[in-house]
Amino acid sequence: MLDRLTARPGAEDLEAVPHHLYGHVSPVSAYSTGIWLDQATDVIAAIRARGALPVVVGGTGLYFRALTGGLSDMPEIPEPIRTELRARLEAEGVAPLHQELARLDPDMAARLRPADRQRILRALEVVRATGKSIAAFQGRGGAQIVDPLTARCLVLEPDRPMLHARINARFARMLEEGAIDEVKQLISLDVPPQHPAMKAIGVSQISDYLAGRHSLDQAMDLASAATRQYAKRQLTWFRNQLDQRWERIQTQGHE
């Protein structure tokens, strides 16, 4: 549904080489790194079985860490618990969740800053779902699907002026190619406002434009700024979390 806003490969790219795990999940469905890892494991095995080389591409470093066994083997969270706690976070703020975590898992609550929304939410989800502290799962590595010692691991590091120029042009192109209609279709599904899809970059800004809270130019500026901030966080994560096995390729210029 959100082909343009997720920058899904176009028809020519899809015809040139087989692509997998693109556009296969409804934006209203719950999804996680664990679900993706299960699906990616099957796809990689099938590609290898036919004698081909799998190439994994993306911008989410956590997914790459999961493939190489470097992600903690966290339990799946039942959807009712996830939905309840995320709705409470939006409605009540983080303080009541931190108080509940302090009751159920006092050691972890003491380790987390009271304003650390996402970590408090995650820790509370785990203890509510399993009865165990999230600390019991942290540091327990998962299965190694890709061996980082034999794989070629690359990080593209574009220079900042080029990156910002491409981000600005990218959102304008998305609008030209139908991003507004994609958001209208998503809104028509009555997705709860706290759902991750409604907070995705581009979706929230276009939603505000459609509701009359922003002009289209304002929506473009806000979405581009949010994308630049997200790209900065990604590059920081790559610098701090990926080791020397990753080859860093710096690019310059506008193309």
Domain boundaries of the chain, sorted by first residue:
79-136, 159-255
Q: Which CATH architecture has domain 159-255?
A: Orthogonal Bundle (1.10)
Amino acid letter, residue 4: R
* Span 73-91, pLDDT tens digits: 778 888 899 889 999 998 9
Q: What is the pLDDT of residue 254?
A: 47
170: nearest Cα among 188, 158, 153, 187: 158
pLDDT tier for residue 115 given thresholds of 50, 70 and 90: confident
pLDDT, one tens digit per residue, over 38-60 is: 999 999 999 999 999 999 998 78
Cα 10 from Cα 14, distance rounded (Å): 6
- How much is the average pLDDT of 125-129? 95
Q: From residue 50, give the alpha-carbon distance in Å to each of 21, 46, 47, 127, 146.
A: 18, 7, 6, 42, 17
pLDDT > 60? residue 12: yes
pLDDT tens figures, 222-233: 999 999 999 998
In CATH, which of 3.30.930.10, 2.40.128.50, 3.40.50.720, 1.10.20.140 is domain 79-136?
1.10.20.140
How confident is the model over 144-184, as pLDDT tens digits?
888 888 899 999 888 889 999 999 898 889 999 999 999 99
